[in-house]
Amino acid sequence: MKIGIVCPYDWDVPGGVQFHIRDLAEHLIGLGHQVSVLAPAEDDSGLPSYVVSAGRAVAVPYNGSVARLSFGIISATRVRRWLRDGDFDILHVHEPASPSLSMLAAWAATGPMVATFHTSNPRSRAMIAASPILQPALEKLSARIAVSEYARRTLVEHLGGDAVVIPNGVDVEFFAGAEPNPSWSGGTIGFIGRINEPRKGLPTLLAALPRILAARPDTRLLVAGKGDEEEAVAGLAPEVRARVEFLGMVSDRDKARLLRSVDLYVAPNTGGESFGIILVEAMSAAAPVLASDLDAFAQVLDGGKAGELFPVEDAAALAASAVRLLGDPDRRAELREAASRHVRRFDWATVGADILAVYETVTEGTDAHGVREDEPTGWRERLGLARD
């Protein structure tokens, strides 16, 4: 099968959607399918062979974060060229409700098309405002996938229609087989995420750290991710700051090793999460998980059976749970065992088969993909884009 996948976000900036698309593409290629991924990228020299650059992205505030997206006349031209050259049996667009390559591809394409919705935002004014513009593209979708029940609910409430829930996938064996790093072991808490993005929750974890150290002075906090390290710890006392080690951006291999090494992985996110891929990665690596009680996190952690939960932004509750877990190896072993059973439903062997089943259902008896020669009436004018 010839499969075209559209990534809305900058390939050069790591994120859950990009990782999902990368792993999906490589899983499908491993099964013998021909896959091409179109994505924004600043420098195409280091891209995987299956990724086609659509040019540079620009930063746009989106869903409580800053997304790097490509949109406009030049991007639309590149999308149409990619669609013509690809002659795909099926097109899979991700986050078509964002002003992105995915929206442009959904407007331009004909033939079988699947969309995956990742966003969970019960009060998205942008999505509501964009609904009239999106409807012509959404009506062309052959199938819709949501990565969680909360992403599905956002889709239904804002744009109508429905979707099948297929979670994000993880290569469970990759994380389970990683070699622990002895220098990252021994009374360690792990955090992975963008340091300066408030919704990732690092400030809550740092606020809890003095209480954790008061009870367990030998604890270290290992932080992996991009951001201003000095700004992050500026408000901490020197003796607390000394127990925080920043690792910067880490490779996939080192991320797996870090998760295999820590005594406790903490996900203190404050909102805007539709799934929680890092929780699945941590469970795959047998890291006991302590996470904020976001609805999406609770679902991923099997209602708290595969990992413990604390109230969102409650640093005192986080500290109390972390101290208890760090001092209770039997409880951590229980969490590891429960997680190892639960996490199998997120393995690519299961998730990939479910996505392929959707592809096969919508392509039965249909022609290959094409490109509309006309354009949806008024879309340039609605978005303030003048014709050449």
Predicted local distance difference test score (pLDDT) of residue 375:
47
For the 2-169+347-382 domain, the top CATH level (class) is alpha beta
Residue 245, Cα to own-chain centre: how many angstroms?
25
pLDDT of residue 385: 35
- Quote the CA–CA distance of 109 and 51 in Å, as a whole number: 19
- DSSP annotation of 179: P
Residue 388: what pLDDT?
A: 36
Give residue 272's identity as a one-letter amino acid code.
G
| Threshold 0.95, pTM exceeds | no
pLDDT of residue 137: 78
The two tokens of residue 289 are 């998980």
Q: 288 to each of 197, 255, 313, how far by Cα in Å? A: 24, 15, 20
Give the contacts of 335 (CB within 8 A, at least 6 positions apart).
Answer: 288, 289, 306, 307, 308
Residue 98's pLDDT is 83
pLDDT at 44: 80
**Structure confidence at residue 382 (pLDDT):** 34
Long-range contacts of 161-168 (CB under 8 A, 24+ apart): 163/117, 164/358, 166/116, 166/351, 166/354, 166/355, 166/358, 167/275, 167/280, 167/300, 167/345, 167/346, 167/351, 168/16, 168/20, 168/275, 168/277, 168/280, 168/346, 168/351
Instruction: Output the pLDDT for position 387.
Output: 35
- Three-class secondary structure of residue 232 per DSSP: helix
Q: Where in the chain are all domains bearing CATH 3.40.50.2000?
A: 2-169+347-382, 172-345
Tens digit of each residue's pLDDT, the chain (388 residues): 999 999 999 998 878 899 999 999 999 999 999 999 999 998 788 899 999 999 888 877 665 566 777 888 889 999 999 999 999 999 999 999 888 999 999 999 989 999 999 987 766 665 666 666 777 778 899 999 999 998 898 888 888 889 999 999 999 999 999 999 999 999 999 999 999 889 999 999 999 999 999 999 999 999 999 999 999 999 999 999 999 999 999 999 999 999 999 999 999 999 888 899 999 999 999 999 999 999 999 999 999 999 999 999 999 999 999 999 999 999 999 999 999 999 999 999 999 999 999 999 999 866 655 665 554 444 334 333 333 3
Can you give the pLDDT at residue 14?
78
**Cα distance between residue 326 and residue 304, in whole Å:** 17
172-345: which CATH architecture?
3-Layer(aba) Sandwich (3.40)
